[in-house]
Amino acid sequence: MAQTEISQAGFSSLVTQLVVAQAEEELRARAVHAMPGMYVPGRFVKGTNTIRFARYADLGLGSVTAVLSEGTAPTDQALTISSEFYTAAQYGGTVAITDLANLDSPHDLISVAAERIAYQATRLMDTLVRNGIHTNVETAAIFTATASQTVSANGATALSPLSGWQVKRMVASLKAANVPTFPDGFYRCIIHPNQEFDLLTDTTTNGWLELNKYVSDLPALTNEIGRFAGVRFITSSDAHRAATTAPTTYAASGANYNALFLGPDAYTIGDSQTLQSYFVAPGGDHSDPIAQKALLGFKMRWGSMLIDEAGARYRVLRTTSTI
């Protein structure tokens, strides 16, 4: 079992030098996919591991367009009932710190480990949601940004950077599909910082207007960079990047980026075991009889799903970047 020990590389120099009084802060990606307000909270029925969303389809106009015959009742119609569901899986992790490491370290290793494992849990949730979304997007909801300010169906290979024109095209696609906006009157879009650069430097007549030029009483969203063409943009270095021609496999680096445009109720996140944190003091169990290590950890059982039985409430725009 891996654990932090005094023999670990870098530990002795940390103790002897005592140059800094605080551990170096990590450069972190911003978790935006699991951010409250971006999804529909789902609740599991106790005793099950499944959450199900029911759909009652709208009635078509086919049979009611005919003129009624006097004294003759119209033909009865039946409701169309369908549903979609997802299940939860359990995730967790621990950090072990020996008593000597905690004694000799110039830092409070317990506090450092607690903060780091909390961020690990947050990052895990966000990554799983991101991958779950882009693994299951409907093909009809995937578009590619191509040269000469065009947006084509999925499959084009020559991509172009994100532009204001393409944003307006995605908004038109959402509106044409009757996807409502969020209560503030805007759609949402998650983009990568490289896409942000291209959008902010778009100098065409369809270009960007940054956040501070808006006269609005709306509070800024977490990680929001601005609003444009009816969309509020949220940026994160963990935004999805495609490893293939379709946005189904995440790539840590690469030229293909996927801007995720959303209306409300596009996806759901639910848990049947709320995220819990744990601390076991040295000597807290029989595997540590002489109190040599402390354990910190987290555990959760949850899942996520796109809600698209009635149609996709999202659009994925594949682009390249000038960076």
Q: List average pLDDT for each run of 10 residues in the chain, which is 323 residues long.
A: 71 51 56 81 72 75 83 84 78 89 84 87 88 87 74 63 89 94 93 91 70 63 84 91 74 80 89 78 82 88 84 90 85
CA separation, residue 314 to residues 56, 102, 144, 311 (Å): 20, 48, 14, 9
Nearest CA to 10 out of 282, 1, 20, 111 is that of: 20
The whole-angstrom separation of Cα 262 and Cα 53 is: 19
The whole-angstrom separation of Cα 250 and Cα 252 is: 7
Nearest CA to 194 out of 125, 128, 256 is that of: 256
CA separation, residue 119 to residues 4, 37, 182, 227 (Å): 18, 20, 28, 28
Nearest CA to 91 out of 297, 313, 309, 322 is that of: 297
pTM value? 0.80
Sorted by where each begins, the domain ranges of the chain are 141-267+307-319
CA separation, residue 176 to residues 192, 256, 263, 315 (Å): 26, 26, 13, 12
How many CB atoms are located within 10 Å of the residue 303 CB? Answer: 22
Q: Apex CA 54: angle with CA 51 and CA 58, to 5°?
A: 160
Nearest CA to 321 out of 145, 196, 192, 195 is that of: 195
CA separation, residue 294 to residues 3, 8, 84, 115 (Å): 10, 17, 43, 15
The whole-angstrom separation of Cα 141 and Cα 311 is: 9
For residues 295, 285, 275, 192, the Cα torsion angle rounded to the nearest 10 degrees is 20
Predicted local confidence at residue 146, as pLDDT: 73
The whole-angstrom separation of Cα 187 and Cα 118 is: 30
278 three-class SS: strand
297 DSSP β-pair partners? 94, 278
